[in-house]
């Protein structure tokens, strides 16, 4: 074997610039290259080694300080995958210790990058060549044998180089959809059908073999079928030589590997794409993000941005129009997102209604915001899905990465996600840019969530009771049960600081059942006292999450049975939003509850979006006017007319009406003048612990 022997070199290279340098150096050596491949990640190189590709020698470049730390680990992994593969380690730093260790780990040679020259490389590679020589002799004889027996299924070709004619077997022609007489004997019948992108490589492989540089000819490429499509084929061949070594004939086989190729491609595609939208999936996105992080560390002027996108109220679409509409909408959204991006950007679907975008290179934060604006703008046109007109808005979080801002893709995504939550929190169809405070808030929220879970286990909740007064006679009509959390570190907490988290996590459901049970138990206790009015009631707030529970009616019936309160003693407060979102299902539940003597109040009335035509169909007993209207009933800027309208509305609908948040005597007299039936507020009493509330009952307090 001469120094012209071709070898396949695998380069694991963490810097594209250096890959080019090495390629140049190797080109200048007397050694011919069969294949030279650059990888930017060791994991990809290891994957490559697992494949069927032939690699004779690996160059592992670990010259960057931050990849150098993992270099020995990478070397070990490559060695495990391909124990016999000679590996040459390149490094930018002269590090004695690393050198010794590298050689011990199996690096054939340890080269300092600055010193790479033809001589050194040649020496390192010689070892590989010698070993290959023995292997090849063996392979050659095996190949001839394989060629002879493969004829049956494969097409055969026999090329007379001297006459420049090629024999193509009937099977060869049939493989491409042709009859025997339809293809002639010119070599162009073959080469002319090879895919233009693949042809140079095929030609190179042929001439390399003819010149004696390769032991055999082998190539996988695409070839044109009669139907206009391309088929993948594997073509193998051997030259027949004269005594002097000059080839005068070359013959071989061709087999159709289209199925294998497309299966491979499909598998590869599926592993990295979302089946619904065809967009890159999380794995592929993280991979690209990882590259962007590496790139940012290397090039100081490079900044990337990640947008985390969540569709607002997508669940509504799924719930109300069905999943097939939801799916189709996601696909349509994916296409519009794509249409806004530049060639180097990546849009991926993480799952559900969450999308992420990697903006490969942005000038500054304004640039990222500009692109976000374009996305919002693109969504503004309604989507037409299965005959439905659907409007979509996005909540969008943005984070930027430059220099050493980030180490891991997960961290970038976490921050963009946090920013997105910030955007959602400040109203839908918004953008938010990640900042440190957001991270702190997210951590605080997470802590709250954990504490809340523990609170359920440790029974840290209690109920305070606020009297609701009959404005006609000043006596206590009922108590509203208001949840309190005795937090071990923060003292007594009001629902505003934790109910929304409890709702987001679903913890509101078990907590809500506890409140309901405890409030009924308390009422039963009061009702058993001789001085309590028969009509005394409790009102309990019910969250939307709890209201949609399928077993709502049964559970409440059970609580009524267990606690034994008098019929009519329990009232539920539900907000307008909860009922309107549920329509028919809500009506059925409300009617069933009414059957048990449970009364229903609409809480915070006036702040939601009740439609009047709908309201009168609901089995509702009373409206509680939101306290914002009551607080505006003072002095000059009196807003009594709204309250008056609600009172009139309640009368027309034959409902009771209550006012909450009453703080002054003036408000009481105005409400009385408007004939509002009931009132509640600090003017009468703040919410009280159970015992103190019991004291009010015992004292027969009235106002
Ligand atoms: P809400 O049902 O509208 O309850 C009335 C709120 O107004 C209570 O706040 C009460 O303390 C407060 N309030 C009463 N009088 C006055 C007043 O004169 N002035 C002012 N400024 N405020 C007054 P709280 O107890 O902090 O509860 C807040 C909200 O948390 C409640 O609003 C209710 O929506 C929710 N909530 C309370 N307990 C529960 C519960 O057990 N389950 C569920 N799902 N939600 C609850
Ligand atoms: Mg309430
Ligand atoms: Mg209220």
Q: Ligand 1 centre from 685 Cα, in Å?
A: 13
Could you read off the pLDDT of 520-554 as tens digits, one per residue?
999 999 999 988 888 999 999 999 889 989 999 99
pTM of the model: 0.50
Q: How far apart are CA 50 and CA 269, in angstroms?
A: 18
Ligand 1 atom closest to the Cα of residue 543 is: 44
Q: Are 234 and 216 in contact (CB under 8 A)?
A: no
**Domains of the chain: residue spans and CATH:** 6-148 (3.40.50.2300), 152-262 (3.30.450.20), 272-434 (3.30.70.270), 458-699 (3.20.20.450)
Burial zone of 13 (CB within 10 Å; 0-12 exposed, 13-18 middle, 19+ buried): buried
- Burial grade of 197 (CB within 10 A; 0-12, 13-18, 19 or more): exposed
Interacting residues of 89 by C-beta distance below 8 A, sequence separation 6+:
60, 62, 71, 75, 102, 107, 109, 110, 111
Nearest to 590 by CA among 615, 565, 611, 607: 615
CB 253 within 8 A of CB 235: yes
Which residue among 482, 522, 608 is best mutated to probe the pocket of ligand 1, counting the most ligand atoms within 8 A of its Cβ? 482
Which ligand is nearest the CA of 496, by number? 1
Specify the ligand 1 atom closest to the Cα of 683.
Answer: 18
On whether the CB atoms of residues 253 and 156 are closer than 8 A, the answer is: yes
Return the CA Rg of the chain.
39
pLDDT value of position 431: 77
Q: Is 663 in the pocket of ligand 1 (CB under 6 A)?
A: yes
Q: Parallel, antiparallel, or unpaired for β 230-241 and 217-224?
A: antiparallel
Residues flanking ion ligand 3, Cβ below 5 Å: 603-604
Structure confidence at residue 8 (pLDDT): 66
What pLDDT score was predicted for residue 685?
97
| CB 544 less than 6 A from any atom of ligand 1 | no
Structure confidence at residue 23 (pLDDT): 66
Instruction: State whether the beta carbon of 125 lies less than 6 angstroms from ligand 1.
Output: no
- Any residues with CB less than 8 A from the CB of 571 and at least 6 apart, and which? 478, 537, 538, 539, 540, 598, 599, 600, 601, 621, 622
Cβ(494) to ligand 1 under 6 A? Answer: yes
- Around ion ligand 2, which residues have CB less than 5 A away? 541, 573, 603
What is the H or E stretch that residue 380 is in? helix 365-380
Cβ–ligand 1 contact at 575 (below 6 Å): no
Average pLDDT of adjacent 10-residue blocks, the chain of 703 residues: 51 64 60 53 65 66 59 73 70 60 63 53 50 48 47 77 89 92 94 95 94 90 95 90 81 88 80 92 92 89 93 86 92 95 93 94 87 90 90 90 88 92 76 71 76 89 97 96 94 92 89 97 94 92 92 95 92 86 79 93 80 74 92 74 87 92 94 94 97 94 90
Query: Which residue's CA is minimally distant from atom 43 of ligand 1?
Result: 541
Full DSSP string of 657-668:
EEE----SHHHH
Q: Which atom of ligand 1 is nearest to the CA of 503?
A: 44
Query: Does ligand 1 have an atom closer than 6 angstroms to the CB of 679?
Result: no
Helix H or strand E encompassing 501: helix 499-505
Q: Is 499 in the pocket of ligand 1 (CB under 6 A)?
A: yes
Pocket test for ligand 1, best of 605, 660, 664 (most atoms within 8 A of CB): 660
How far away, in angstroms, is 667 Cα from ligand 3 center?
A: 17
Question: Which residues, 6 or more positions from 651, have their beta carbon under 8 angstroms from its beta carbon?
Answer: 657, 675
Which atom of ligand 1 sits closest to the CA of residue 663?
Answer: 18
User: Is the CB–ligand 1 distance for residue 682 below 6 Å?
Assistant: yes
Is ligand 1 within 6 A of the CB of residue 518? no
Query: What does the pLDDT read at residue 22?
Result: 63
- Ligand 1 mutation pick, 541, 605, 607, 664, max ligand atoms within 8 A of CB: 541
Residue whose pair of structure tokens reads 């390629």 in the numeric block: 23
| Per-residue CA distances from 318 to 324, 326, 549, 569, 579 (Å) | 8, 5, 18, 38, 18
The reply to whether ligand 1 has any atom less than 6 angstroms from the CB of 603 is yes
Q: Are 601 and 574 in contact (CB under 8 A)?
A: yes
Return the ligand 1 atom nearest residue 604 CA: 3
β-pair partners for 230: 224
Q: Could you count the other beta carbons within 10 Å of the beta carbon of residue 32?
A: 17
**Which of helix, strand or coil describes residue 176?**
coil
Ligand 1 binding pocket mutation candidate from 466, 483, 485, 495 (most atoms within 8 A of CB): 495
311 lines ligand 1 (CB under 6 A): no
Q: How would you classify the pairing of strands 230-241 and 7-12?
A: unpaired
- Residue 608 CA, ligand 3 centroid: distance in Å: 12
The answer, yes or no, to whether any atom of ligand 1 lies below 6 A from the CB of 483, is: yes
Q: How long is the chain? A: 703
Ligand 3 centroid from CA 615, angstroms: 18
Predicted local confidence at residue 616, as pLDDT:
76
Q: Is the CB of 604 under 6 A from ligand 1?
A: yes
């Amino acid at each position: 074997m001469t120094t012209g022997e071709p070898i396949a070199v695998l380069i694991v290279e963490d810097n594209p610039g250096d890959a080019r340098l090495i390629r140049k150096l190797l080109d200048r050596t007397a050694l011919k290259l069969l294949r030279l491949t650059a990888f930017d990640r060791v994991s990809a190189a290891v994957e490559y080694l697992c494949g069927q590709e032939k690699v004779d020698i690996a160059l592992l470049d670990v010259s960057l300080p931050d990849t150098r730390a993992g270099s020995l680990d990478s070397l070990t992994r490559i060695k495990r995958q391909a124990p016999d593969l000679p590996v040459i380690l390149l490094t930018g730093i002269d590090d004695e210790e690393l050198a010794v260790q590298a050689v011990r780990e199996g690096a054939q040679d340890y080269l300092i990058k600055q010193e790479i020259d033809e001589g050194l490389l040649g020496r390192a590679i010689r070892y590989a060549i010698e070993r290959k020589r023995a292997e090849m002799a063996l392979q050659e004889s095996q190949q001839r044998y394989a060629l002879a027996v493969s004829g049956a299924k494969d097409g055969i070709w026999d090329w007379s180089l001297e006459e420049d004619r090629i024999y193509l077997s009937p099977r060869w022609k049939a493989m491409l959809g042709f009859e025997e007489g339809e293809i002639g004997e010119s070599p162009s019948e073959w080469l002319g059908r090879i895919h233009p992108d693949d042809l140079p490589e095929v030609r190179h492989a042929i001439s390399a073999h003819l010149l004696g540089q390769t032991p055999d000819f082998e190539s996988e490429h695409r070839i044109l079928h009669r139907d206009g499509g391309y088929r993948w084929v594997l073509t193998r061949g051997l030259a027949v030589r004269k005594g002097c070594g000059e080839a005068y004939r070359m013959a071989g086989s061709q087999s159709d590997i289209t199925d294998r190729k497309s299966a491979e491609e499909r598998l590869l595609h599926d592993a990295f794409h979302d089946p619904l939208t065809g967009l890159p999936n999380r794995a592929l996105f993280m991979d690209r993000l990882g590259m962007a992080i590496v790139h940012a560390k290397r090039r100081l002027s490079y900044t990337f941005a990640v947008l985390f996108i969540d569709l607002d109220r997508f669940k509504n679409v799924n719930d109300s129009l069905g999943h097939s509409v939801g799916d189709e909408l996601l696909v349509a959204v994916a296409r519009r997102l794509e249409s806004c991006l530049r060639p180097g950007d990546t849009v991926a679907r993480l799952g559900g209604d969450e999308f992420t975008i990697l903006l490969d290179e942005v000038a500054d934060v304004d640039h990222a915001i500009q692109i976000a604006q374009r996305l919002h703008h693109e969504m503004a046109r309604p989507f037409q899905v299965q005959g439905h007109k659907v409007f979509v808005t996005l909540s969008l979080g943005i984070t930027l990465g430059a220099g050493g801002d980030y180490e891991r893709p997960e961290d970038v995504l976490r921050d963009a996600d946090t920013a997105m939550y910030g955007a959602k929190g400040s109203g839908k169809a918004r953008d938010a840019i990640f900042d440190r405070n957001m991270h702190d808030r997210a951590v605080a929220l997470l802590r709250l969530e954990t504490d809340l879970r523990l609170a359920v286990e440790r029974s840290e909740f209690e109920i305070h009771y606020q009297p609701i007064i009959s404005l006609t006679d000043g006596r206590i009509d009922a108590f509203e049960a208001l949840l309190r959390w005795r937090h071990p570190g923060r003292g007594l907490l009001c629902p505003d600081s934790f109910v929304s988290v409890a709702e987001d996590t679903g913890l509101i459901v078990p907590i809500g059942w506890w409140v309901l049970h405890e409030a009924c138990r308390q009422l039963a206790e009061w009702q058993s006292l001789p001085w309590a009015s028969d009509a005394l009631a409790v009102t309990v707030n019910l969250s939307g999450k709890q209201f949609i529970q399928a077993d709502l009616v049964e559970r409440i019936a059970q609580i009524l049975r267990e606690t034994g309160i008098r019929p009519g003693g329990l009232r539920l407060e539900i907000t307008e939003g909860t009922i309107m979102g549920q329509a028919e299902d809500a009506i059925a539940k409300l009617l069933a509850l009414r059957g048990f003597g449970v009364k229903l109040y609409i809480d915070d009335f006036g702040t939601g979006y009740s439609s009047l035509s709908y309201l009168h169909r609901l089995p509702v007993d009373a409206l509680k006017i939101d306290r914002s209207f009551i607080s505006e009933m003072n002095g000059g800027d009196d807003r009594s007319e709204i309250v008056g309208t609600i009172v009139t509305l309640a009368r027309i609908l034959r409902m009771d009406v209550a006012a909450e948040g009453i703080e002054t005597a003036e408000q009481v007299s105005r409400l009385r003048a408007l004939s509002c039936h009931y009132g509640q507020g600090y003017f009468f009493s703040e919410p009280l612990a159970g015992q103190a509330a019991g004291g009010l009952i015992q004292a027969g307090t009235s106002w």
